[in-house]
Amino acid sequence: MSFDVLSVREDFAILKREINGRPMVYMDSAATSLKPRPVIDAVLDFYENHCANIHRGVHQLSQEASELYEDARYTISRFIGAMEREIVFVRNASEALNLVAHSLPIDGAVLTTTAEHHSNLLPWGRRNEVIVVDISPTGILDLEDLARKLKGNKVGLVSVTHVSNGLGVINPVKQIGEMARAHGAYFLVDGSQSVPHMPVNVHELDCDFLVFSGHKMLGPSGVGVLYARSEHLESMEPFLLGSDMISEVHLDGFKLANIPWKFEAGTPNIEGAIALGVAVEYLEDLGMDAVRAHERELATLALEGFQQMRNVQLLGPTDPDIRSGVITFKRPNIEAHAFAKLLSNRYSILIRSGFHCAQPLFETLGAGESCRASLYLYNTTEEVAALVSAVDALSQVV
């Protein structure tokens, strides 16, 4: 199962850009993905033809906007195997995590891992004790340590990333969920780096919550998704209060709207949600199995190339079956930002440098700041070869 990557690239106008007289090679999709023409057109179409607020107007434009917005909710629910009423639109995965941290009564500690994005660490500490599970020197989750800490503590929620944004490690989230459920804990999956890149089904994962961001999966910025089982949404209190999340308001009280709308206060990112639905349809047309297979091929080539370099330290596992298209590396004795800048200036290869919003992970590994090339469905084997060649060449001279 595959797709024609050259045909796919035709949908991304930005890939025709040149930087410093060279074709641009974009390898920062873990930070944000590029946007295909159908997604851009969806935003433009909303503003040109359907621009109105939703849910509260009976006029034609409002009805059209509301229908497009709710159609997107259905599309996204189908994509992850959920029900429409279990999909809450938020600004991003960070907001979704904060919503759960604020609204879900958690009886006990929150168990998470050293490898998490800051957004899956910081919100939990406001109200609960946070217990962190260890990882191996290559970033692989220590399941024995997870079992020990589940057994030795009162844990109310287990919250883990499906795929590490720092190292690309693919965690065995189904097994982790089974362990959490056996101890009576809620189970949350941060799918920010998995939902855009591989098939994800909430029923197969048997998770209580799943969060992800639109801008990492071909959609616009400013829109994300919280999936939560309907029974949880029914019992949770809303994170924000205001318009549209109520059915009645009086001076002495108010009545909440039904789920999922009781969690969507105020005017949402209407055009963003609509365009995210289009992004999901684009991914469905390609096939998520095909997207994963393409990235695995690219990652295999990159890992093989980096392992042959003498002056470059590759971080994370080398098995492409448990790694996404995130390739993280260091050139010892050279500051990561400086190396990334050289790649951009000399080769027009755009990667990320720093701690990648996972500083505790890299401090635990003793790695400090690093460089990260993150691959997606529009990258080619030729671009991976160019990355390997450029990093190797620079590592010999700087």
**How confident is the model over 92-148, as pLDDT tens digits?**
999 999 999 999 999 999 999 999 999 999 999 999 999 999 999 999 999 999 999
Measured distance CA(178)–CA(173) in Å, rounded = 9
**Contact (Cβ atoms closer than 8 angstroms) between residue 304 and residue 239:** no
> Is residue 326 within 8 Å of residue 30, measured between CB atoms?
yes
Instruction: State the amino acid at position 315 in one-letter form.
Output: L
pLDDT computed for residue 75 by the predictor: 98
Contacts of 329 (CB under 8 A, 6+ apart): 306, 312, 313, 314, 315, 370, 371, 372, 373, 391
Of 219, 220, 192, 191, the residue nearest 207 (C-alpha): 191
pLDDT of residue 49: 98
Q: Which amino acid is at 291?
A: V
CA atoms within 13 Å, Cβ hemisphere of 48: 6
Host H or E run for residue 345: helix 336-347
How far is the C-alpha of 163 from the C-alpha of 149, rounded, in Å? 21
Name the one residue in this structure whose structure tokens are 């001076």: 251
pLDDT value of position 1: 65
Active site residues: 357
β-bridge pairing 130-133 and 87-90? unpaired
Q: Of 361, 359, 360, 341, give the one whose Cα is nearest residue 351.
A: 341
The residues of the chain scoring below 50 in pLDDT are: none
User: Which residues share a beta bridge with 187?
Assistant: 158
Give the pLDDT score at 398. 65
**CA 237, CA 244: separation in Å to the nearest integer?**
15
Distance, in Å, from the CA atom of 115 to the CA atom of 132, rounded to the nearest integer, reads: 9
Could you tell me the domains of the chain?
5-30+288-397 (3.90.1150.10), 39-285 (3.40.640.10)
Neighbours of 259 (CB within 10 A): 22
Neighbours of 185 (CB within 10 A): 24
Burial 261-284 (b: 16+ CB within 10 A, else e): bbbbbeebbbbbbbbbbbbbbbbe
- Determine contact, residues 30/215, Cβ cutoff 8 Å: no
Amino acid identity of residue 98, one-letter, is: N
Q: Are 31 and 376 in contact, with CB atoms under 8 Å apart?
A: no
HSE (side-chain half, CA atoms, 13 Å) at 84: 10
Helix (H) or strand (E) holding 150: helix 143-152
User: What is the sign of the dihedral through the CA atoms of 222, 223, 229 and 232?
Assistant: positive
Q: How far apart are CA 287 and CA 282, in angstroms?
A: 9
Q: What is the C-alpha radius of gyration for the chain, rounded to an integer number of angstroms?
A: 22
Please state the length of the chain.
398
